[in-house]
Amino acid sequence: MKVNFVLLLVCTTAVFLPNAFAEIKVETVVDGLKIPWELVFAPDDSIYFTERDGNLWQIESDGSLKLIAEFPASNTYEGGLLGLALDPDFEQNNFLYLYQTYVELPSHQNKVVRFTVSNDNLKDEFILIDNIPGALWHDGGRIHFGPDGMLYISTGDAINPSLSQDIKSLAGKILRINSDGTIPDDNPFENSPVYSYGHRNSQGFDWNSENILVASEHGPSGEKGRAHDEINIIKPGQNYGWPEIVGDSDDLRFINPALHSGDVTWAPSGVLFYDSEKIPEWKDKFFVATLRGAHVMMLNLEAEQIISSEKIFNDEYGRIRQLIQSPDGDVFMLTSNGENDKILQITDLQTTTLTVETKQTERLSTDLWIYAVILGIIISGGIIAYKKLRK
């Protein structure tokens, strides 16, 4: 992260949303980021978030920012340090889970790794699941604990569409495992982590108050036409069709999407079910971040059917990667523009928003030391050259 990180509360803007929305404000908590991918809230009021290039950060309860860990960059377009989750018993065990892309020549792979957070460091690395096919694109990467306490993982087809229909492959799936990496006895396929299949590239999912699982999915971009991004209702053991079908189909072997984008590209990413009273008009709605679409989709779901869809924040913040509900009902939104990305806080007008201040003294001192050395070399070189000229 650059030293010129602007970590003051800026860009305070009251946003008036259409269709009888309450007044809310959107404020920048952190900017100067590069593709933040996931953010989670810890029980002690601290926040952890990932940047795709390999950084894991912590915002402490006092607003200070710490770099917890740095992992090698994956050098892919969509892979890297992606999903992040905290154990449901984090207060007791301090377990933190990461979805990571790594190079395994001649290709990329993904793994889900558990660490123990100890004194602002990670220790006790334990790989829960490995050899998830990866590639430059279609890498999946979202991980969440479900209402049943199981860890769910979305994976992409790793630009090999046939893998999505292969039950023996981990690509193009939503996976379900225990928190220790073992396979739950009630998974739909015996001795398999596969929960659903036929996915192209799912980057987001969440559950509503009735435990209905809703997932986003990127549609094709050339190999089977274009667009037809999807919002799916996920059921165990079901086949969602990729690459055999795109959009709706009459083939009863496959589950049709609850909603798709037709000939328009959304590139949907993170999914949030909002269940707080803080923004009353948003309660019990699903929200989907879109990358290419550069907006947030607000979805109203009833009886496993999407009965309405509305765009908000259209073209206001560029590409949006993820939305996360805080414990007190605010929504934190991550942009994904590649330069000067932000963590934004959406709240009511009465709430005091989070101010982040970094502890960069050591890093600044290091940079100043480097500059001093360079300046010293230049000055020394100038003195030597001057003396030679005088001779």
Q: Rounded mean pLDDT of 275-285?
A: 97
Domain total in the chain:
1
The answer, as to whether pTM is greater than 0.85, is: yes
| CATH code, domain carrying 274 | 2.120.10.30
SS3 129: strand
Which of residues 320 and 75 earns the better pLDDT score?
Answer: 320
* pLDDT value, residue 358: 54
Separation of alpha carbons 171 and 21, rounded Å: 40
* Local confidence band at 382 (pLDDT 50, 70, 90 cut-offs): low
Instruction: Please give the backbone phi and psi of residue 286, each rounded to the nearest 5 degrees, phi first.
Output: -90, 145
Rounded to whole angstroms, the Cα distance separating 154 from 80 reads 14
334 part of a folded domain: yes
Burial class from Cβ neighbours inside 10 Å (0-12, 13-18, 19+) for residue 341 reads buried
In a domain, 154, yes or no: yes
Q: State pLDDT tens for residues 170-210.
A: 999 999 999 999 999 999 999 999 999 999 999 999 999 99
- Domain assignment of residue 31, given as a range: 10-390
Mean pLDDT of 60-89: 95
pLDDT (0 to 100) of residue 297? 98
Q: How many residues does the chain have?
A: 391
Q: Per the domain annotation, does 2 fall within a domain?
A: no
200 in a structural domain: yes
The pLDDT score that the predictor gives to residue 75 is 86
Confidence of residue 360 (pLDDT cuts 50, 70, 90): very low
Token pair in block for residue 191: 């001795």
Whether the Cβ atoms of residue 232 and residue 214 lie closer than 8 Å to each other: yes
Q: Does residue 4 sit within a domain?
A: no
- Give tens-digit pLDDT for 293-351: 999 999 999 999 999 999 999 999 999 999 999 999 999 999 999 999 999 999 999 99
> Using CA atoms, how far apart are residues 245 and 52, in angstroms rounded to an integer?
31
Res 104: pLDDT: 86
In a domain, 351, yes or no: yes
Give, rounded to a whole angstrom, the gap between the first and last alpha carbons of the chain: 47
- Give a yes or no: residue 377 inside a domain: yes
* Across 60-64, 157-161, 263-267, least confident range: 60-64
Q: Which phi and psi angles does 387 have, rounded to 5°?
A: -65, -40
The verdict on residue 3 lying in a domain is no
